[in-house]
Amino acid sequence: MRTSMDYISVLVLCFSLLLILETATAIDTINTTQSIGDGQTLISADGTYVLGFFKPGESKSRYLGIWFGKISVVTAVWVANRETPLNDSSGVLRLTNEGSLVLLNSSGSIIWSSNTSRSPARNPVAQLLDSGNLVVKEEDDDILENSLWQSFEHPTDTLLPEMKQGWNKITGMDWSLTSWKSPDDPARGHFIDMLSPNGYPEIQVMEDSKVKYRSGPWNGLRFSGSNQLKQNTRYTFEFVYNENETFYRYHLVNNSMVWRLVISPEGDLQRFTWIDQTQSWLLFSTANTDNCERYALCGANGICSIQNSPMCDCLHGFVPKIRSDWEATDWSSGCVRRTPVNCSVDGFQKVSGVKLPQTNTSWFNKSMNLEECKYMCLKNCSCTAYSNLDIRDGGSGCLLWFGDLVDTRVFSQNEQDIYLRMAASELGNGDGAKVNDKSNTKKMIILSSVLSTGTLLLCLAMVLYIRNRKQRRNRKVSGGFERNSNSKLRKENLDLPLFDLYTLAAATMDFSEDSKLGEGGFGTVYKGTLKDGREIAVKRLSKFSRQGLDEFINEVKHIVELQHRNLVKLLGCCIERDEKMLVYEFLSNKSLDFFIFDETHRLQLDWPKRYNVIKGIARGLVYLHQDSRLRVIHRDLKASNVLLDHEMNPKISDFGLARSFGGNETEANTNKVVGTYGYISPEYASDGLYSTKSDVFSFGVLVLEIVSGNKNRGFSHPDHQLNLLGHAWRLFIEGKPSELISESIIESCNLFEVLRSIHVGLLCVQENPVDRPSMSYVVLMLGNEDALPQPKQPGFFTERDLIEVTYSSTQSKPFSANECSISLLEAR
């Protein structure tokens, strides 16, 4: 009785049902003499699923569907009449004598039918199973395979555990998911999630008839290059490919879990689990989250790497087809071979750790080994690459590609290898690289890949450098910059864009209080508007900066060359009288601290945005640390030095001011400690020793701050004396890191990503710099699902550690009162 009361209240609450429920004991089966009207339901034997009429979201129409029976939020997993909504609550579901389920409207017209074709039926019944499957079967036959019709074979937008996604080759049945039009309208939307029909199967998300996203082919363990199907404690998966059917499906490890996969109206593949404590769905993971997941972003024979800037590159031995397009970052034209292949004397270039290219033109054989596979590829002139089909047990099977290689990406070190067909001359210095010469091939390939990576990097660096020069020159011509009369500058630094003091004073209304944006570590920042309407930010450096003119010019010259989408762009500078000013692009949103530490503004930054911020900062730092021509250490990375553009993309500011240095020097000693309490690393604070690993430490602090919404500096907790780093570590080793997550992102968060971020954050704040990962490794870790090393106790574990160090700063401003404010982590 009680459960039926609960049930009624749920229905009334969530569905705004107009009807009064007829008192009925729950049934899971109807026969041909019974029917289900609006307000009545079928409930599966254990109550997990319910079939009935409902009204999605704001819609006024009614639909027959199946939803979860035991959770408080009504979530439809299957809809019968998705294209033919009912206008009122007079719909009735019946089972015909032929075994067809029919939905009738008030005038008795059939508006939906299951069209059951297997006939004749003797004594058909329709039953809602505990798996969520609605089946029509003979009353006395419980074997699923013999059923006349199953809702699992006619999916809508949701994949439930045990449900197959793929194809039945005998009946031609297509088990793919089609998104809803909108959360209010279950009609077929633009996106389809399916197993590709041609070549070796992969998952594809289609937008109308175009591929939007694809996984790589199944490699025995998971779909190649996909984080979606890795081993985990929640579910296992199964892939079947035989003469009758092709499909994959999930099996829950614990059936008490409530789980679903949905293709959203926006085309995202999302996995949700129901969390009882919060009474809400937790988005566990989303496919297609980063730019490299965009199908064929880099065109034919291109390869995407999320760590690189630009992301696209050509596969080894290929060059951009239309170079000018590539330089304008339009990669869609793809790449072509530098040297045409010569069918008789080609070799193969091994490329490791990739998501395999699209397989719709592939050929495969499960029992061949890699050597036979290579031979097979070599025999056919149009074969362009080969790889193992299955990576388990050292690899087996053969997969061949013909024609262009599309949608390859750098994935993770543990991912698959692919062997690309190359003209022998592309493999190195020509001879020795022939296919038959096995021992040499290996060496040659290693050598050539080392050489080619080097050459590629060099070329890339040169292209970037030339482009930067060109861009800067263009800017100077078109941008209306006025030259300073300082002849020394003109003589030495023709490339340095100079603003004159008069222009900047006019732009900032004489550096008025009104145009002041804030005070940073090195001076005051003003907002300005140039005569042509462009908005700029002007940093007026403190006069007491001891830096000499030459040193300053030198630094600015270097900073101007640093260009990356996650760095604030320096437009130029101004040196006149005793003034030194830097002119930056202006960013409309404020800095990161304004969002994450503020009660109201923190809601504007949901988890996907925060994760994007974390990854963006990481990429910006990789660029500073290793990809830029100079090795640049930021030395004052903190939340207030990360600015956000109008799309909430992060841009690091104030980099390079603390002296850049080049060459092999990775560590340096300085008597001036620059930095901010709470972010500086132990070795930097105590010994003034800084390296790129000092920035990694600051980055780790920042990540934990972004996840927790708390400042490291001034953190306090009723249970202990630890700072934020110590607190995070404690929760981590106690196995409850999720308690660190800020209330404001609980709803939007992807648990896997958040936990991964916390883990990576802890690795970054290790006491010993050697234990901290490099920034490029950080980017890699954030981008895959490989196992991570276990962090040790972080440096600066407690607040006391901090006080013991002798801290001196000549350039940072003193901490304002609010930087020391104490925020309590609410116990949950």
Ligand X SMILES: *[C@@H]1O[C@H](CO)[C@@H](O)[C@H](O)[C@H]1NC(C)=O
What residues are annotated to the active site?
Answer: 636
CB of 477 to ligand X, least distance (A): 42
Please give the residues from 105 up to 134 whose contact with ligand X meets the rule CB under 6 A. Answer: 105-107, 109, 111-113, 115
- Give kind and range of the element (H or E) at residue 238: strand 235-241
Q: Is residue 86 a contact residue for ligand X (CB under 6 A)?
A: yes
Helices (H), 657-723: 682-687, 692-708
Identified binder of ligand X from the candidate list 3, 4, 9, 31, rule CB under 6 A:
31
CB of 600 to ligand X, least distance (A): 36
CB of 61 to ligand X, least distance (A): 8
Please say which residue, 84 or 452, places its beta carbon nearer to ligand X: 84
User: Distance of alpha carbon 781 from its chain centroid, rounded?
Assistant: 12
Please give the residues from 402 up to 441 whose contact with ligand X meets the rule CB under 6 A. Answer: 402
Which pair of tokens denotes residue 512? Answer: 């008025």
3-state helix, strand, coil in the chain (%, to 5): 25, 30, 45
Q: Is the distance from CB of 633 to CB of 624 less than 8 angstroms?
A: yes
Residue by residue, DSSP assigns 499-532 as --HHHHHHHTTTT-GGGEEEEETTEEEEEEE-TT
Residue 539 in marked binding region: yes
CB of 643 to ligand X, least distance (A): 39
CB of 341 to ligand X, least distance (A): 9
Which pair of tokens denotes residue 273? Answer: 């689990």
Considering only the stretches 27-35, 429-437, 620-628, 721-729, report the one whose residues sit in contact with ligand X under the rule CB under 6 A. 27-35
Q: Is residue 206 a contact residue for ligand X (CB under 6 A)?
A: no
Identified binder of ligand X from the candidate list 380, 485, 670, 821, rule CB under 6 A:
380
CA-wise closest residue to 643 among 544, 757, 558, 527? 527
Residue showing tokens 């290793």: 626
Considering only the stretches 50-58, 104-112, 348-356, 712-720, report the one whose residues sit in contact with ligand X under the rule CB under 6 A. 104-112
Identified binder of ligand X from the candidate list 16, 277, 367, 669, rule CB under 6 A:
367
Q: Is the distance from CB of 365 to CB of 398 less than 8 angstroms?
A: yes
Please say which residue, 33 or 324, places its beta carbon nearer to ligand X: 33
From the CB of residue 804, how many other CB atoms can be counted at a distance below 10 Å?
11
Strands 42-43 vs 49-54: parallel, antiparallel or unpaired: antiparallel
Please say which residue, 98 or 606, places its beta carbon nearer to ligand X: 98
Q: Is residue 670 a contact residue for ligand X (CB under 6 A)?
A: no
User: From CA 528, how far away is CA 507, in angstroms rounded?
Assistant: 5
Identified binder of ligand X from the candidate list 16, 23, 256, 816, rule CB under 6 A:
256
Considering only the stretches 100-108, 221-229, 432-440, 818-826, report the one whose residues sit in contact with ligand X under the rule CB under 6 A. 100-108
- Give kind and range of the element (H or E) at residue 291: none
Considering only the stretches 66-74, 329-337, 358-366, 758-766, report the one whose residues sit in contact with ligand X under the rule CB under 6 A. 358-366
CB of 535 to ligand X, least distance (A): 42
Please say which residue, 74 or 206, places its beta carbon nearer to ligand X: 206
Identified binder of ligand X from the candidate list 372, 495, 743, 786, rule CB under 6 A:
372
Helix, coil or strand: residue 765: coil
Helices (H), 170-328: 323-327
Q: Is the distance from CB of 258 to CB of 70 less than 8 angstroms?
A: yes
CB of 342 to ligand X, least distance (A): 4
Q: Is residue 198 a contact residue for ligand X (CB under 6 A)?
A: yes
Identified binder of ligand X from the candidate list 33, 233, 671, 816, rule CB under 6 A:
33
Identified binder of ligand X from the candidate list 3, 4, 9, 87, rule CB under 6 A:
87
Residues 6+ apart with CB under 8 A from 629: 461, 465, 561, 662
Considering only the stretches 80-88, 644-652, 700-708, 739-747, report the one whose residues sit in contact with ligand X under the rule CB under 6 A. 80-88
The total number of residues written for the chain in this structure: 828
The helix/strand count (H/E) of the chain reads as: 15, 43
Q: 225: left (phi > 0), else alpha (psi -120 to 50), else beta?
A: left
Q: Is the distance from CB of 724 to CB of 712 less than 8 angstroms?
A: yes
Please say which residue, 89 or 563, places its beta carbon nearer to ligand X: 89
User: From CA 317, how far away is CA 300, in angstroms rounded?
Assistant: 13
Q: Is residue 396 a contact residue for ligand X (CB under 6 A)?
A: no
Number of residues interacting with ligand X: please give it, by CB under 6 A. 35
Q: Is the distance from CB of 365 to CB of 261 less than 8 angstroms?
A: no
User: From CA 310, how far away is CA 294, in angstroms rounded?
Assistant: 15
For residue 428, the cross-strand partners are none
CB of 686 to ligand X, least distance (A): 47
Please say which residue, 331 or 715, places its beta carbon nearer to ligand X: 331
Q: Is residue 242 a contact residue for ligand X (CB under 6 A)?
A: yes
Q: Is residue 211 a contact residue for ligand X (CB under 6 A)?
A: yes
Identified binder of ligand X from the candidate list 339, 365, 474, 485, rule CB under 6 A:
365
Please say which residue, 380 or 485, places its beta carbon nearer to ligand X: 380
Identified binder of ligand X from the candidate list 147, 215, 360, 694, rule CB under 6 A:
360
Handedness of CA 575, 581, 587, 592 (dihedral sign): positive
For residue 337, the cross-strand partners are 318
Q: Is residue 252 a contact residue for ligand X (CB under 6 A)?
A: no
Annotated binding site: 539
**Which residues of the chain form contacts with ligand X (CB under 6 A)?**
31-34, 84, 86-87, 105-107, 109, 111-113, 115, 198, 211, 242-244, 254, 256, 342, 344-345, 360-361, 363, 365, 367-368, 372, 380, 382, 402
Annotated binding site for ATP: 539
